Amino acid sequence: MAIDDIINIQNVSFYRDDRAIFKNLNCAISTGKITAIMGPSGSGKTTLLRLIGGQLNPHEGQIRLFDQDIAALNRKQLNQIRARMGVLFQSGALFTDLSVFENVAFPLREHMHLSADELYNKVLLKLEAVGLRGARDLMPSQLSGGMARRVALARAVAMEPELILYDEPFAGQDPIAMAVLQRLIKDLNSAMNLTSVLVSHDIAEACAIADQVILLGEGRVLVQDTPAALQASNDPAVKQFIHGEADGVIPFHFAAPALQQELRGGSE
């Protein structure tokens, strides 16, 4: 594992029933960078994020995070590792019965011993960073989708993690909200010395802020390179995905027997 790699994925295989989601997957994620995980639907993007976070364990191989084998950790050790991570879920996952302030304060109350003033100031600083200090007394039901995502981001960075995982941060956002989230992810990554890993279907938005792109397909890493290199690639699978081509080497149909073999009835 290179010194500047915060995550190292080594020969990882993961199955759902008899179907291999990954087979001998290998890649590394550099400290301090923004890395986008992309690929066609069903290629295992969110599964990979859950493997990195320790929510799932690989059937074969290792996922090393902070130079530790995640699957080998006990519950206490895993929680210690997770304290160094933040997660922005696709839904935002705000507590609907807590105010914006209390949503951001929640992990601080749970894991840190702060005075009332320290907690108050820390929450306000995080809300200021995402432009929502003035919304601190609102309830989640009073927020737009973009505002809710920004509150969730403030909560994800409340404990000043070293690593933050984003699951489809741009999904369902209007162009303005998407641009705001782009800027926030990039600015926070720089200002807080974070490492950011984001899963996204939004090619243009993710590539605009990513230092590296990991493109998944066929149960493996098709390519890992800079966004510019992917845009210029002549690889058929990379070209099809990056340029949104309907026809190509990435199939539209899920693998199945020939249709005529499965149709019932008909003339003899």
Nearest Cα neighbor of 193 from 149, 157, 155 is 157
Whole-number Å distance between alpha carbons of 162 and 29: 13
The answer as to whether 136 is a domain residue is: yes
Is position 191 within any domain?
Answer: no
In a domain, 172, yes or no: no
For residue 61, give both structure tokens.
């191989």
Minimal CA–CA distance to 159: which of 93, 116, 110? Answer: 110
Beta bridge partners of 19: 16
pLDDT attached to residue 40: 81
Q: What is the pLDDT of residues 99-149, one digit of tens each?
A: 999 999 998 888 888 899 999 999 999 999 888 999 999 999 999 888 888
Asked whether residue 37 is domain-assigned, the answer is no
Region of 218 (left: φ > 0; alpha: ψ -120 to 50; beta: rest) is left
What pLDDT does 241 receive?
A: 78
CA angle 108-104-186, nearest 5°?
Answer: 105
Using CA atoms, how far apart are residues 95 and 126, in angstroms rounded to an integer?
A: 17
- Domain holding 106, by residue range, is 95-156
For the chain, the domain total comes to 1
Q: Is 81 helix (H, G, I), strand (E, B) or coil?
A: helix
Q: Are 212 and 36 in contact (CB under 8 A)?
A: yes
How far is residue 148's CA from residue 162's CA, in Å, rounded to a whole number?
A: 23
Asked if residues 201 and 166 have their Cβ atoms less than 8 Å apart, the reply is no
Predicted confidence at residue 246, as pLDDT, reads 64
User: What is the length of the chain?
Assistant: 268
Flag whether 213 is in a domain. no
On whether residue 119 sits in a domain, the answer given is yes
Burial of 243 (0-12, 13-18, 19+ CB in 10 A): exposed
Would residue 249 be called left, alpha or beta, if left means φ above 0 and alpha means ψ between -120 and 50 degrees?
Answer: alpha
One-letter amino acid at 45 equals: K
User: CB-based contacts of 99: which residues, under 8 Å, 6+ apart?
Assistant: 136, 137, 138, 139
For the entire predicted model, the pTM comes to 0.83
- Establish if 58 belongs to a structural domain: no
266 conformational bin, left if phi > 0, alpha if psi -120 to 50, beta if neither: left
pLDDT at 1: 47
Sites in the chain below the pLDDT cut of 50: 1, 252-253, 267-268
pLDDT computed for residue 262 by the predictor: 79
State the pLDDT at residue 253: 47
Residue 253 forms part of a structural domain: no
